[in-house]
Amino acid sequence: MSLLIVKPGLLTTVQDGGRRGLQHLGVVPCGAMDRVALALANALVGNHAGEAVLEITLLGPQIELEEDSLVALCGAQFEASAGDGDLPGDRPVFLQAGMRLNLRRAVRGTRAYLAVAGGIAVEPLLGSRSTYLPARFGGLEGRALLAGDSLPLAADAARLAASRYDRLAARATSRKGVHSVRWSVPALTLPEHEPIVLHAMPGRHHDEFDAASQRAFFDSQWRVSPDSNRMGFRLSGATLARPQGGEILSEPTCLGTVQVPANGAPIVLMADHQTTGGYPKIAEVAGADVPRLAQLAPGGTLRFALCTLAEALELRLALKTRMATALRAISWEYGK
Amino acid sequence: MYAEFSETLDLEVNEALQSLAFTLRARAPAWVHEIVPALTGVAVHFDPEHADLPAAPLAAAEALIRECIDAMPSRAAGRTIEVPVCYDPEFALDVVEVAEKSGIEPEDIALRHSRAEHFVLMVGFSPGLPYLAGLDPALALPRRATPRTRVPAGSVAIANLQTTVYPFETPGGWSVIGRTPLVLFDPARDPPSVFSPGDRVRFVAISRIEYARLK
């Protein structure tokens, strides 16, 4: 049982809920950049939230299915087809063996997640199947997928696909060989319009930046630089100055930490960020807003809105509630 | 949550916080999923989605840290490990430059480096990369003005009062004075990293023949 990669796309990697408990050895969680889309895609095919999926970036892959499969595509909206039909997003889709998926390009958002019932069955390393590109391990040989790759699926993936799709029969529909349903879940992380607004708390070294820089950080518009990647999003816009700034001793960093190196251009740390860093931290992006940032492409614009820790926790709770509503709706469709 | 104990790098403070990190690891409840000792403090990462997360997680994390400070032993329970290093000029890419700047002969650089006891202050930046205290002050030099674009995996390098060992081939600005044949980070191994925070380290000088045998 496997998925055959005919064309790999721009950057397609295996990702899951990430690695835990090894940051003291320099291993970051990595995992899907948009955890919300990951959880929704998995739920739509009946997997648990952190199962391994394909993370697809801007230009998608062509994939041939070796067996009958139940798949779901969440996160970025792609121009996508399955065989001769369109591949609809944000819902479970049953496809027969031999079908070719063609994910052409993202029309909204940046990162899509393709979940398959039973999950992608590459060997877990250190408790996760996520690809960790900087150290080249995890996923498939620690690298982005290439043409000709064969990705293992669960041994019972075809059986899971049939039995799970059976439970959705009441509101199923079929067109040009693409079997799907007449409902979908809302995309919770796609940008409505740019600049997107990210809530951020002042970081440990915020007060060491000069007043103009503090204002500029929260008042001005930022653009995601082309040299952004899964480690961090570099932002261009104002130049931030920390006048009495000496060197900082390396200290732990988090997903969403905003560092400012000596050149004054901030970097938001993303899923593959280093565990410790020696640059001053001007802000910490609220965890609930990181998945929306993951959906911005280079050139995308954003603003930061000052928030408190309590507000950041409220945002997390609000997102959790929206997620729970979507997950309940999926469970209901599965007749659970 | 990050608990900082000093604003400057201090070996005693770092040893104490390694001891704290060991104690935290032994006592941490399930909602704490990372304990990350760094140069001057310890970060406690918790899982905001965990079912057992207390209503006031920051206060609970602070209480946990205080409890562990009271309970921790005075000396970190780290291991003592030996790491073979070949200081041959073939691997010691910057030894000539270090010798020129420090006024110490290359053979003496190897001797001074290998006879000191080093201490893992932190593992970070990339998987398995240690920041080691204990360098002979006579060898303390600033980082290279121009970082090397490719430092070979296993390279033992010094800067200021510290030593590091590069687990992977990466760019790097420290002066390379030797190379270890050990695979420093292997995700298929348990534990995956040769170095852990709080370890005491001795570098054992080996010949090129021993290097080749161990490689």
Instruction: Using the Cα atoms of residue A228, residue A233, residue A239 and residue A242 in order, give the sign of their dihedral.
Output: negative
Strands (E), chain B: 2-4, 32-37, 41-46, 80-86, 118-123, 130-133, 148-151, 155-159, 162-165, 170-172, 175-179, 200-206
pLDDT of residue A262 exceeding 70, the answer is yes
Q: Let me know whether A180 and A42 are in one domain.
A: yes
Question: Where in the sequence is the domain holding A229, given as residue range(s)?
Answer: 196-320
Which residue reads 């959790």 in tokens? A320
pLDDT of residue A336 exceeding 80, the answer is no
Q: Let me know whether B122 and B47 are in one domain.
A: no
- Angle at B14 (CA atoms; ends B10, B15), nearest 5 degrees: 120
Q: Please count the residue pairs, one from chain A and one from chain B, whose beta carbons lie less than 8 angstroms apart.
A: 95
Q: CB-CB: which of A135, A249, A313 is closest to B168?
A: A135
Q: Let me know whether B110 and B210 are in one domain.
A: yes
| Backbone φ/ψ region at A101: left (φ over 0), alpha (ψ -120 to 50), beta | beta
CB atoms within 10 A of CB B66: 11
Which of B71, B92, B114 is the last residue before a domain boundary? B71
Least confident window among A43-47, A115-119, A216-220, A276-280? A276-280
In a domain, A84, yes or no: yes
Domains held by chain B: number: 2
Considering chain B, what is the average pLDDT of its residues?
A: 93
CATH number of the domain at B40, please: 3.30.1360.40
Contact status of A262 with chain B (Cβ, < 8 Å) = no
Q: What is the mean pLDDT of residues A60-70?
A: 97
- Distance from C-alpha of A257 to C-alpha of A166, rounded to nearest angstrom: 44
pLDDT of residue A127 exceeding 70, the answer is yes
Amino acid at site A237: G
Q: Sort out which chain B residues have CB atoms less than 8 A from A280's CB and list them.
A: none
Q: Sort out which chain A residues have CB atoms less than 8 A from B40's CB and list them.
A: 249, 251
* Cβ–Cβ below 8 Å for B58 and A309: yes
Question: CA-nearest residue of chain A to B38?
Answer: A251
- Distance from C-alpha of A30 to C-alpha of A274, rounded to nearest angstrom: 10
**Model pTM?**
0.93
Q: Let me know whether B62 and B88 are in one domain.
A: no
Beta partners for B82? B202
| B180 to chain A, closest Cα gap in Å | 18
Contact status of A274 with chain B (Cβ, < 8 Å) = yes
Q: What Rg do the C-alpha atoms of chain B give, in angstroms?
A: 19
pLDDT, position A265: 95
In a domain, A333, yes or no: no
Amino acid at site B28: A
pLDDT, position B42: 95
Burial B134-146 (b: 16+ CB within 10 A, else e): bbbeebebeebee
Three state DSSP letters for A187-237: CCCCCCCCCEEEEEEECCCHHHCCHHHHHHHHHCCEEECCCCCCCEEEEEC
Q: Let me know whether A170 and A250 are in one domain.
A: no
For residue B152, the 8-state DSSP code is P
For the record, the structure tokens of B10 come out as 């201090």
pLDDT, position A278: 85
Burial A83-116 (b: 16+ CB within 10 A, else e): bebebbbbbbbbbbeebebbbeebeebbbbbbbb
Question: In terms of DSSP bridges, do strands B80-86 and B200-206 run parallel, antiparallel, or are they unpaired?
Answer: parallel
Which of A137, A159, A189 is the last residue before a domain boundary? A189
pLDDT of residue A173 exceeding 80, the answer is yes
pLDDT, position A247: 74
Kindly report, residue by residue over B66-117, the tens digit of the pLDDT. 999 999 887 767 799 999 999 999 999 999 999 999 999 999 999 999 999 9
The runs of H, that is alpha helices, within chain B are 11-27, 57-71, 95-102, 106-115, 208-214
Q: Let me know whether A126 and A163 are in one domain.
A: yes
Q: Let me know whether B52 and B88 are in one domain.
A: no
Q: Let me know whether B98 and B182 are in one domain.
A: yes
pLDDT, position A257: 97
CATH number of the domain at A310, please: 2.40.100.10
Kindly report, residue by residue over A289-334, the tens digit of the pLDDT. 999 999 999 999 999 999 999 999 899 999 999 999 999 999 999 9
Q: Let me know whether B89 and B116 are in one domain.
A: yes
Q: Let me know whether B34 and B118 are in one domain.
A: no
Q: Let me know whether B93 and B169 are in one domain.
A: yes
Question: Where in the sequence is the domain holding B170, given as residue range(s)?
Answer: 80-214
Considering chain A, what is the average pLDDT of its residues?
A: 95
- DSSP H or E run through A179: strand A178-181
pLDDT, position A19: 94
How confident is residue A244, by pLDDT bands cut at 50, 70 and 90? confident
For residue B51, the 8-state DSSP code is T
In a domain, A334, yes or no: no
Q: Let me know whether B29 and B123 are in one domain.
A: no
In a domain, A232, yes or no: yes
Kindly report, residue by residue over B48-59, the tens digit of the pLDDT. 778 888 888 889
Contact status of A321 with chain B (Cβ, < 8 Å) = no
End-to-end CA distance of chain B: 41
Q: Let me know whether A274 and A294 are in one domain.
A: yes
Which of B14, B47, B71 is the last residue before a domain boundary? B71
Q: What percent of chain A has pLDDT over 90?
A: 92
Q: Is pLDDT larger for residue A248 or for residue B38?
A: B38
pLDDT, position B76: 67
Q: Let me know whether A200 and A63 are in one domain.
A: no
pLDDT, position B56: 85
Q: Is pLDDT larger for residue A64 or for residue A244?
A: A64
- Distance from C-alpha of B212 to C-alpha of A117, rounded to nearest angstrom: 48
Kindly report, residue by residue over B145-187, the tens digit of the pLDDT. 888 888 999 999 999 899 999 999 888 889 999 999 999 999 9
Q: What is the mean pLDDT of residues A90-112?
A: 97
pLDDT, position A33: 98
- Distance from C-alpha of A156 to C-alpha of A160, rounded to nearest angstrom: 6
List Cα–Cα distances, A109 to A37, A300, B163, in angstroms: 11, 10, 44
Domains held by chain A: number: 2
